[in-house]
Structure 1
Amino acid sequence: MKLSILLSISSAFAVVKASLPAYAQCGGVNWSGDSSCASGFYCLKQNEWYSQCVPGASMFLRLIYHVCLTKCHLATVTAKPTTTTSGSPVPTTPVPPATSITSFAKADGNVFNINGKSQYFMGTNSYWIGFFTSNSDVDLVFSHLASTGLKVLRVWGFNDVNTIPGAGTVWFQSFVQGSAPTINTGPEGLQRLDYVVESAGKHGLSLIINFVNNWADYGGIPAYNKYYGLSSTNRTEWYASAAAQSQYQKYISTVVARYKNSPTVFAWELANEPRCNGCPTSVLTNWIKTTSAYIKSLDSKHMVTTGDEGFGIAGGTSYPWGPGEGIDWVENLKISTIDFGTAHLYPESWGEQDSFGKPWIDAHAAAAKALGKPFILEEYGSSTKPSILTWEQAVLDSGTAGDMYWQYGDSFSWGQTHNDGNSIYYGTDMYKTYVQDHAAAMAAKAV
């Protein structure tokens, strides 16, 4: 006993002499690198797969924690707040080990029950994470999300191509002329999404997974249209095409079958920003009814939502408020197989000022409340970053169930993830201001 405790003490003191930078990986299954962290940080086991250098308490408390974690089965040690002079934000207490997702998310009035607890939440978006070929990069993202209190990540569940890419490039579904559509379940196909689901669950994150893009990025509806000879500009044809809808549902059934028993999935989403410019709102409403009912027939355990931008709602007279994109937001939210509403917020792209944001949030939150369903501000971004604070306050004040900024950014050995002007990168002062602080406020908000 004395020898083992001395070995534990020796290991604890080794932390002080270590060299790994803040928030670096320092252990886990198959980890062969260093396990010691820079001064002021210690190596905390988040799960069997991942340990991370996190800000520590005094050496005395770290020593107690290390020894008692292995000898006394101590669950929690309270640490003194720490600061850094580097300008990078740090949590004020050691990050607790990640909690696996053990129960299915569900609507609870105007909020959500997530992993057994009814709560408000903050999340974010990462379209690219399912296209990573490195498991360690995926794990790093989820460890960072968990460490700052984010609860839900929205990911692309589609990646459609019209030509098969070379080895090393991930794709999920192909539409190659002269060949039948192919769903790629291989190691550079849906197996990459498999690992995203696995890692998210281990780190205590839930996922919103969508099935198609309105836009041409990663194929989307344009990839279907090219294959089936449909209009490249008239979305109505895609919603009305029996062949396109049949393949779309075949793809849905393939993805749902992989994860329908996984509580890590927060919800299925019909599409990213479905639109039907100039068409009657009945086109999309009928499609939403049909598709959401189809998903529920495959999987009654998970929630379903549309993924739309929130157009077509009372509150104003300018473009976003109207039904010009074929959306009647309230009518669509009334559909029994739609569990919650979504809206996006990009005033600059819609010819609006950032002041447009608060009434937009308020209108959707009020309409959802009247229907007894939750509402998520699912994407938002602005080049005028201080406006985001006003929007986040509106989220808190309006009773919006959750908000998910666009988009999460991170840094890896090969460089940073894509910056589209809205990216907010982990470990920066901006991340502390717009993400970490708001995530804490949402978590603290009483239900």
Structure 2
Amino acid sequence: MRGISLPRPGRRFAFAAAVLLAVLQCLPAPAAASGFVRVDGTGFVLDGKPYRFAGANFWYGAYLGAPDGVGDRERLRAELDQLKAAGIDNLRVLAMSEASGFRRGVRPAFMVAPGEYDQRLLEGLDVLLDEMRKRDMKAVLYLNNFWQWSGGMSQYVSWFSGEPVFDPDETGDWNGFMQNSARFYAMPDAQAAYRDAIRTVVTRRNSVNGIAYAEDPTVMSWQLANEPRPGSDAAGAANFQAYRAWLDDTAAFIRQLAPRQLVSTGSEGRMGSLGEDDYYLIAHASPHIDYLTFHLWPSNWGWIDHHDPAARLEAGLQASLEYIDRHVEMAARLGKPIVLSEFGLNRDKGSYDPAAPVAARDRFYQAVYARLLQHARAGAPIAGSNFWAWGGRGRTSNPDWMWKEGDPFTGDPPQEAQGLFSLFDSDRSTLEIVSAHARQLRALP
């Protein structure tokens, strides 16, 4: 039939689709899930939701990831599975060590000599990060150490001064050792070698999965060092300006290399800042430092008895909780999140035996976690914690409890008795306390 002209359905649909497409193009695109942890005010967010964590120190993770002869990848996977099942999915890991003459230094080391690296350990870090990525875990990687057990700053000083290492395990002079380590901040050649180490790790491409480290959301944060200090409490003030400049400059350097990831210092807080709040606040005011850290060692600091933690436990707990409160308040003053990135306590009667009871330690963990949760519920700037340290299935058979090259790794580094602070895979009561805290944090809005 002819005479009546109707629009063809195809044209009508094409016109409507074109209009709809134009409208959609004008709307803001939904934010893509990046997987990177970022700072939002005084907290962390992950893909638009608050990110809080109950984590662990797992300093030897890259060592377990190394090839046979150094590492134990079967153990690594089993340890990560146990941690993940317990709700522990944030791990603080050593990402650089230096070959040293220290009696109690870890061996082998990432850095064989300035500018020379052991590829087995870098590969071990690749494997660790890949296994963590598979389990949706986050890593905090520290790139130096104020202390001697991984070589650290005093080894840099030895390399570039030509002097023997200043070994406190030989001399017993810890104040002298700290002042010697602090020379590192003002040694240009040492800083150049350190930056080469930073660049080597931060710009590395993972040999397992091909992901560039700086583009891997598995890495939450880069830390400048483990427990950097201006020096000893007695004489460190003379080094403070060099220390402060080093924090600021190095944090800025890392941020340039990895702008999508966070930067933190690794500081232990007031006790690592010449015992003064102001030194800690001034040093961490840098805009290149994304969040604050602090550590809590009541038996090392004399608040609780090393040899019998139960003896003065309640008084030591009170001092510990006040220390937490003090640092949360300082974080609020700076307007930054803060993480309790190390804390620990000895087993009952100061035992190193994994079979020894842990009643005092469990009480300590419960009190610390309760105070952190209290602050988190109140909206205070506490973002998470990492207990020291995960020992997992590591054990020593040495009668003096000290680590020797080739021994299994535990959470206790080589300069300390193996079992001093480790949380072993058999410590079920403590592990459940950590798991319960993780569940409570996740339940917060």
Query: Would you call these one fold, judging by a TM-score over 0.5?
Result: yes
Greater RCO, CA 8 A, separation 6+:
2
Q: Which amino acid aligns with 2:283?
A: N
Asked if the contact 1:124/1:153 (under 8 Å) is kept, the reply is yes
Aligned match for 1:122, one of 54, 68, 79: 54
SS of 2:267's equivalent in the other structure is: coil
Asked if the contact 1:125/1:379 (under 8 Å) is kept, the reply is yes
Asked if the contact 1:361/1:398 (under 8 Å) is kept, the reply is no
Q: CA deviation at 1:203?
A: 0.7
Find out whether 1:269 has 2:223 as its counterpart.
yes
Task: Go from structure 1 to structure 2 and tell me whether the alpha carbon gap of 1:115 and 1:427 turns closer, same or farther (over 3 Å shift).
Answer: farther
Q: 1:412, 1:391 → 2: CA distance?
A: 25
Find out whether 1:341 has 2:298 as its counterpart.
no
SS of 2:340's equivalent in the other structure is: strand
Asked if the contact 2:202/2:257 (under 8 Å) is kept, the reply is yes
SS of 2:150's equivalent in the other structure is: coil
Asked if the contact 1:410/1:416 (under 8 Å) is kept, the reply is no
Asked if the contact 1:146/1:203 (under 8 Å) is kept, the reply is yes
Q: 2:73, 2:276 → 1: CA distance?
A: 39
> What is residue 153 of structure 1 aligned with on the other side?
91
Aligned match for 2:283, one of 324, 329, 332: 332
Q: CA deviation at 1:343?
A: 0.2
> What is residue 404 of structure 1 aligned with on the other side?
386
Q: Which amino acid aligns with 1:282?
A: Q
Between the two proteins, the alignment pairs up a number of residues equal to: 327
**Backbone CA RMSD of aligned residues:** 2.4
Structure 1 residues 135-194: Cα deviation after superposition (integer angstroms, max 9, x where no partner): 22222122112111123100001121037xxxxx6421023xxxxx243252x2311111
Q: 1:321, 1:246 → 2: CA distance?
A: 25
> What is residue 350 of structure 1 aligned with on the other side?
301
Asked if the contact 1:334/1:371 (under 8 Å) is kept, the reply is yes
Q: CA deviation at 1:426?
A: 3.0
Asked if the contact 2:52/2:441 (under 8 Å) is kept, the reply is yes
SS of 2:36's equivalent in the other structure is: coil
Aligned match for 1:236, one of 178, 182, 186: 182
Q: CA deviation at 1:416?
A: 7.6
Q: Which moved more, 1:323-332 or 1:248-257?
A: 323-332
> What is residue 332 of structure 2 aligned with on the other side?
369
Asked if the contact 1:142/1:205 (under 8 Å) is kept, the reply is no
TM-score normalised according to structure 1 size: 0.68
Aligned match for 1:218, one of 132, 147, 150: 150
Higher helix share: 2
Task: Go from structure 1 to structure 2 and tell me whether the alpha carbon gap of 1:200 and 1:321 turns closer, same or farther (over 3 Å shift).
Answer: closer
Asked if the contact 1:348/1:354 (under 8 Å) is kept, the reply is no
Aligned match for 2:242, one of 280, 283, 289: 283
Structure 1 residues 121-144: Cα deviation after superposition (integer angstroms, max 9, x where no partner): 110101111112232222212211
Q: CA deviation at 1:116?
A: 5.0
Q: CA deviation at 1:321?
A: 8.6
Aligned match for 1:417, one of 410, 424, 428: 410
Q: 1:310, 1:245 → 2: CA distance?
A: 23
Q: 1:239, 1:405 → 2: CA distance?
A: 28
Percent identical residues: 27
Question: What does 1:29-108 align with in structure 2 at a 5 Å threshold?
Answer: 103-108=35-40
SS of 1:304's equivalent in the other structure is: strand
Q: 1:433, 1:439 → 2: CA distance?
A: 10
Task: Go from structure 1 to structure 2 and tell me whether the alpha carbon gap of 1:213 and 1:326 turns closer, same or farther (over 3 Å shift).
Answer: farther
Q: 1:405, 1:283 → 2: CA distance?
A: 30
Aligned match for 1:310, one of 258, 262, 269: 269
Find out whether 1:137 has 2:92 as its counterpart.
no
Q: CA deviation at 1:333?
A: 2.4
> What is residue 434 of structure 1 aligned with on the other side?
433
> What is residue 7 of structure 1 aligned with on the other side?
none
Q: CA deviation at 1:430?
A: 2.2
Structure 1 residues 283-315: Cα deviation after superposition (integer angstroms, max 9, x where no partner): 32111011001111212111000001001xxxx
Q: 1:380, 1:420 → 2: CA distance?
A: 15
Q: Which amino acid aligns with 2:236?
A: C
> What is residue 198 of structure 2 aligned with on the other side?
252
Task: Go from structure 1 to structure 2 and tell me whether the alpha carbon gap of 1:199 and 1:119 turns closer, same or farther (over 3 Å shift).
Answer: same
Q: CA deviation at 1:271?
A: 0.4
Structure 1 residues 396-419: Cα deviation after superposition (integer angstroms, max 9, x where no partner): 112321011111121279978354
> What is residue 117 of structure 2 aligned with on the other side?
184
Asked if the contact 1:283/1:326 (under 8 Å) is kept, the reply is no
Q: 1:137, 1:115 → 2: CA distance?
A: 31
Q: 1:343, 1:190 → 2: CA distance?
A: 28
Q: Which runs of 5+ in 2 are unaligned?
A: 1-32, 65-70, 102-106, 167-176, 205-212, 304-315, 347-359, 377-381, 396-406, 412-417
Structure 1 residues 372-403: Cα deviation after superposition (integer angstroms, max 9, x where no partner): 21100000011231122111111111232101
Q: Which amino acid aligns with 2:242?
A: V
Q: CA deviation at 1:207?
A: 0.3
Asked if the contact 1:279/1:325 (under 8 Å) is kept, the reply is no
Q: 2:37, 2:287 → 1: CA distance?
A: 17
TM-score normalised according to structure 2 size: 0.69
Q: 2:58, 2:187 → 1: CA distance?
A: 30
Q: CA deviation at 1:442?
A: 1.7
Higher strand share: 1
Find out whether 1:207 has 2:139 as its counterpart.
yes
SS of 1:376's equivalent in the other structure is: strand
Q: CA deviation at 1:362?
A: 0.9
Q: 2:302, 2:408 → 1: CA distance?
A: 33
Q: 1:303, 1:421 → 2: CA distance?
A: 31
SS of 1:142's equivalent in the other structure is: helix
